[in-house]
Chains A and B, each alone.
Chain A
Amino acid sequence: MKIVMPMDNVDEIDKLAEAGANELYCSVADTRWTADYTYLATTSRRNSDWSMLSSYEQLKTAAGRARALGLKTMMAANELLYTEDQYPMLTEMLTQAAEAGVDAFIIADFGLMLHLKSLGLDVEFHVSLGGAAFNGQSAAFYRDMGAARVILPQDLTIREIRQMTQNCPEMTFEAFVLNAKCSNTNAYCNFDHDLPSMDGTKGGEKKFDLPCYHEVAVREVSPGAVMQGGCANAPGNPGTPAALKIAARGTALPSLGQIMHADYRKDRNLAKTHCGVCYLKEFREMGVEYIKVVGRGFPLAKKLADLRFLKTAMSYLDERLSLDEFAFKVRGDFARAFASPCQDYCYYTYA
């Protein structure tokens, strides 16, 4: 079982390797791209420069250093959709990344997967959780397209993951086990990801923060009332959205998403870390070979704390422990590592 860690700059690589990372994934900022598409539609669903490498030159250095340390490097090109006008620049970026020495691309858009194959680059691709492989047939669909690995959606149960691995045993799987878990199904969330950082700077306009962090007033209505509401506050016809105005509505209440999306960056609290580490034993048994930590843009100290916690948990895998005993030990470690019990932030909560 191998650990896949986020990496935001070259200086992190030695420390991540030393702490036990086996693979690194990253994004690359491209000023030409963001000039045209802003940070609302980057190539990697990251909305800030500090969570991306700054150039392909840096990527080359990073991939070289990682390889020297025995680590693989993946580049995320995991936006859910790329449109035709983006392809010339996208092709150039993929080619540069391949030349820089990345081992794999993480891709959500099936169009880009097809395109990558046609480019003939000697780089494999992994299906992002944005690719929505929820069952063995969809994993087989991606296998037919040439995918080397499927990254499992964050909202499958352990039982469902087991079924997938059984129904597509020839596929390699990767599962998220630590940090932010989306409240919506990642692949099927079509919200603008983050509006504050159209220019990639920190601390944008608060009102354009992630939609799932928004405070919303919740009011139960009849379906009929929904229709009557219609687009009352959207006077512009489609195609003329500039006519739209923000309308004052209701009293703000604590948001649903703010609690659900208990993200480290949001809460600045290591305890509020989604975790699925107590299922490592089951993952290993069912053949999930890679476990992944969320955290492009997270501080190195957090990444290293995550690695220490993970490596400790992995050290229990060969002990004669039942699933419950394993989970008990891991939960104890979680509480010590992050100064809080974990049960409110489980990746794989289900009943």
Chain B
Amino acid sequence: MSAPAAVRQMEKAVHVSDPAHLHHLEAGCDRAYFGNEFCQRLNVSPAEINEVLDFIEEKKFPFTFVTNYVTDDGLKGLEPLIAAVARRLPGSEIVVNDWGALRLVNEKYRDLVPILGRLLHKMKKGPRIAQVWDRLPGPARDHFQSSNITLEHVRRFLHGQRVARVAFDNVLQGFNVDLNFETFPFRGSLYYPYVYIATTRSCLLAGYKGKLERDRVGIFPCRRECRDHTFELLNDNMPVPLILKGNTQFFVNDKLREENDLLAGGIDRIVYQPELPM
């Protein structure tokens, strides 16, 4: 790690995805994240985003709006929210997890600063990799601890898309990426403590009536049942419990690398999630 850690400070952001959880920001933070990464059906209404923005303005938090992957309908619903953030809090950041959303932001909302979200900044995240770590050759270990952000042509392209920050998950195998590149430098945000592994549009919670119906798989209407139910999926072969919240599987990794170590590698923001981000 090459950068002098002393010149930087770790920014502590708090991320909530449900307006009912805004109280978590009351205790204070360096930056507020709001929005959902995984399901367009959990996006707030235009009225709700204005309430969220009222809160953010009142607290004077620097703001990052978090967005999900979207269908055309989803993008149509998302755009007024993006527009509201751009209008009321120009200069704010927007986490993109959909290339179409990034294209839209760059076309029409250049007052917002895009960040590559953890759905688009890929790493292998299944906790089971840790089970075979000893059996993996060195190059495979290096691969599983890295991403494509170290490639100059990737960074050049992303800079061209106005992206200079990427999101990391706190994967169990650890990551070994130094973002202090001489060309097209990047900064990183580390999400904590919920590591997202996989998501689906065939949500088992859609229409949930007290039992997960395994034979009923498809894209069905929902009433945000995910907000009320959380499941552990336990298997002897997984080193940690999997958590099913709505359409997404997570695990908890509440162990962070030393702050100075993270800073030295260019991770200068911790995105703390006090609730499962659904």
B257 touches A239 (CB 8 A): yes
Interface string of B126-162 (1 = CB under 8 A from A): 1111111111110110111011101101100100000
A150-193 contact mask (Cβ, 8 Å, vs B): 1 or 0: 00000111001001100100000000000000011100111110
Of B23-31, B43-51, B56-64, B94-102, which binds chain A? B94-102
Give the shortest distance, in Å, between A255 (CB) and chain B (any CB): 8
Chain B interface residue count, Cβ-Cβ cutoff 8 angstroms: 95
Give, as a whole number of angstroms, the nearest-CB distance from A265 to chain B. Answer: 18
User: A191 touching B217 by the CB < 8 A rule?
Assistant: no
Other-chain residue from A109, A135, A222, A245 in contact with B72 (beta carbon distance below 8 A): A135
Are A188 and B137 in contact (CB-based, < 8 A)?
no
Residues of A within 8 A of B103 (CB): 137-138, 140-141, 144
B151 & A132 in contact (Cβ 8 Å cutoff): no
| CB <8 Å contact, A248 and B236 | yes
Q: How far is the CB of B251 from chain A (nearest CB, A)?
A: 8
Give the complex CA separation of A177 and B252 in angstroms: 36
Given known A-B contacts A84-B151, A229-B241, A231-B240, A256 and B233 have beta carbons under 8 A apart: yes
> A301 on the interface (CB 8 Å rule)?
no
A-B contact count (CB 8 A): 305
Q: Who on chain A is nearest to B257 by CB?
A: A238
Q: Known: A110-B157, A217-B234, A230-B252. Is A191-B198 also a contact (CB below 8 A)?
A: yes
Contact: B151 with A87, CB < 8 Å? yes
Please give me the residue from chain A that is nearest to B242 by CB atom. Answer: A216
- A209-242 at interface with B (beta carbon < 8 Å): 211, 214-223, 225-227, 229-231, 233-234, 236-242
Q: Output the least CB separation between A252 and chain B (Å).
A: 7
Name the residue on B nearest A36 (C-beta). B139
Whether, in the assembled complex, B193 has its beta carbon less than 8 Å from a beta carbon of chain A, the answer is yes
Chain B min CB distance to A187 (Å)? 8
List residues 80-117 of chain B with CB under 8 A from any CB of chain A.
98-104
**Which residues of chain A come closer than 8 Å to B218, judged between CB atoms?**
346, 349-351
A83 touches B (CB below 8 Å): yes
B contact residues around A231 at 8 Å (CB): 240, 252-255
Specify which chain A residues have a CB less than 8 angstroms from the CB of B102 in the assembled complex.
Answer: 141
Please state if A135 and B173 are interface contacts (CB–CB under 8 Å). no
Mark A residues whose CB is within 8 Å of B.
Answer: 35-38, 40-41, 80-87, 109-111, 114-115, 118, 131-142, 144, 155-157, 160, 163-164, 167, 183-185, 188-192, 195, 198, 207-208, 211, 214-223, 225-227, 229-231, 233-234, 236-242, 244-250, 252, 254, 256, 259-260, 344, 346, 349-351
29 of the cross-chain contacts (CB-CB < 8 Å) are A36-B140, A38-B136, A83-B147, A84-B150, A85-B139, A109-B122, A134-B70, A141-B100, A160-B71, A191-B125, A216-B233, A218-B231, A221-B230, A230-B193, A230-B252, A231-B252, A234-B240, A236-B130, A238-B253, A238-B257, A241-B129, A241-B133, A246-B131, A247-B236, A249-B241, A256-B212, A260-B217, A350-B218, A351-B219
